[in-house]
Amino acid sequence: MLSSYAADAQETEEINQMIEQVDIGQDDQDLTKSIGFDRSVKMDINSISREEMIKLPFLNIKQVVSFFEYKKTYGNFLSMFELQAIPLWNADIIRKLMKIYTVNTHSSGDKMVLEQRESGFQQVVVRIGRSESSSGSIDQFQRSLKETIIYRNAKYNNLYAGYAAEKDIGEKNIFDFNSFFIQKERFSVFKKIIVGDYLVSMGQGLVHWNGYAFGKNSHVLSILRQAQNIKPHTGTEENRFFRGSAIEVEKGKRSLTLFVSRKKIDANLMVDSVSGKKWASSLLFSGLHRNEHELADKHSLVLISSGMILKQNFKTGHISLNSITHCTDIPIQKRNLPYNIYGLNGNRWFNLSSDFIFSGKNGTVFGELGIDRKKSNGVIMGYLKSLNRFTDIGIQCRSISRSYNSFSSNIIGHQFNANNEKGFYVGINIKIDSRSNIEMFVDNYKHSFPVYTSDGPQRGVMSSLTFTYKPSKKVELYARLTEKRSNQNENIEDFKTHHLSMNTTHQTRLHGGFHINEAVELRIRNEIFCKRAEYNKNLFGWLNYIEFILHPVLQPYSISYRSSYYNTDGYESAIYSMERDLPHYYSMNSFFGRGISNYILLQYAVNQKISFSGKWMSEKKFYDSKRPTSDFYIALSTSWRMQLTLKF
């Protein structure tokens, strides 16, 4: 139990580091809405499928191919240490796999193994939380409890089921949102059957992508999207999923996925007072229903979706044909503004695409070509190459027409939705020696038609350099320099229209992690933000924090404490930072203004079946005399959340 607990925590830290590199503002998906299984029994490495291995973010295509070629030649693995013999694999990959996989050394008739496969396990998660503020900035409805109940049932005969209920702060009852699914794998000719709520991922996200996906960052593998075609919706996200049924049939190297869905989503409806005609001016994805206006928008639009994925697998990759259709009962008609001219309009959309991934001696190539109902097109192409044992490069280019549209795209680019963008990304990862490595990338993009932040063609460049140094197993240091340049709208005195000016943002982060001993870890960070504009004033900000993590060896508890100090010139110079949080709960905080933020996190495993975690947070903000929020110009806000996890 303790080793599994440590593995989950370490895996969460790696995810946190990846999220912190993502360009903030690129995607508005809520990370706190995702939850998965806590597997109390590690899975057998010999039973892993190619699809399951491809979705692991730390493996590339060539390494996956090398794994299955080795297994085909020498048979099943007898020990996890045998993985060292696989070409192109290294110790870091093996360590990560050992957290979630093992080699089953029990005979097929072993009573314990048979009982586990027959009974499986069940999991219940109960989470509650609340926020308070002395400044009155938090409305009365926000002081109510946030409640979540999640049930999971995983059978080892490939049957899975789950249910979730959630009440956000300000909503009236725990059943404001309900979600369920039943999944059966490897049943007759079906590879997978899902009834209920599920997610669908296609290609590189050009026509459709459900679920959270990391954006561009300095790790070159991040430019290649890899995921299961269909999987259950195991979170509490209230809009970005399908509700209906999906099947995946596989015969030989060919597979066919079909799905159909009908669900209601939140939208802002408008009504013509003369004709009575209705239309949706915007789609709402927050999932919040806290007052009369938000309740009026709840489930106001019916969305019917259907599609298919036809995939042909080869020894070194695959090629797929994807199609998806969306229909709504009320047409969408966005506000009459320049950047909405080519936006989604009407009540029916259709997208067709073909994607591929192939890996060989000269590297890995991947891409997707898509068209929409109006025959507008978009293209994404990429290339990954290991020049040697120490150097990897990645190149991605995208060319998406200004009139191309997809109802639910999610690509790796400057903006997550596939529309009105041309861009070129190049990244390189260099392992200097066993102690240090460099990751860097440059992304050049252009929007030929006006976008939300620019009333004319927008050009921009984003670049990042990260240097990591690990002098020992107890010390990890890294420095990250990021620069962003783009032309954006600026307001100038005596001008009634926006002026396009070039803005430059520099961000510098210095981070150190120190394992004082086997039980205590110390983390220190200093981050500086600077934004220079042509006409408006320059913005500046800084953030410092110190964090202590106590996780005694062979003890069922861990305690984390962080104190953050920040001072920025406002929201436009906000600095973002991930925080340790409850299991399955991700917390990305934005710090702006001047203040002090603290939190303490406790995690305790009562036994193998019961675990508890709780987090308490406080933030003290200081204001000048021009913004008096109290007699002392100080505003204090606090919040807490607790979670109980039961496994049986």
Tens of pLDDT, residues 363-397: 889 999 999 999 999 999 999 988 887 898 999 99
Q: How far apart (Å, rounded) are the C-alpha atoms in residues 400 and 455?
A: 19
Q: What pLDDT band is residue 41 in, cutting at 50, 70 and 90?
A: low
Contact, 556 vs 511, CB < 8 A?
A: no
Q: How far apart (Å, rounded) are the C-alpha atoms in residues 432 and 391?
A: 9
Task: Assign 3-state DSSP to the chain and report helix, strand, coil percentages, each to 5.
Answer: 15, 50, 35
Does residue 330 surpass a pLDDT of 90? yes
Structure tokens at 483: 């620069």
Which is it for the CA torsion 562, 563, 565, 566, positive or negative? positive
Q: What is the structure's pLDDT at 112?
A: 41
Cβ neighbours for 268, distance < 8 A, ≥ 6 positions apart: 280, 281, 282, 283, 284, 297
Q: What is the structure's pLDDT at 615?
A: 96
Rg (alpha carbons) of the chain, rounded to whole number: 25
Q: What is the structure's pLDDT at 338?
A: 83
456 phi/psi in degrees, rounded to 5: -150, -175
Q: How far apart (Å, rounded) are the C-alpha atoms in residues 281 and 145?
A: 31
Does residue 332 surpass a pLDDT of 60? yes
Structure tokens at 112: 């314990």
Contact, 595 vs 576, CB < 8 A?
A: no
Structure tokens at 516: 């004082």
- Of the candidates 584, 643, 522, 465, the one whose C-alpha atom is nearest the C-alpha of residue 212 is 584
Mean pLDDT of 269-288: 87
Q: State pLDDT tens for residues 53-72.
A: 766 767 766 777 788 888 88
Q: What pLDDT band is residue 405 in, cutting at 50, 70 and 90?
A: very high
Q: What pLDDT band is residue 496 in, cutting at 50, 70 and 90?
A: low
Residues paired with 62 in a beta bridge: none
Q: State pLDDT tens for residues 517-553.
A: 989 999 999 999 999 987 778 899 999 999 999 999 8
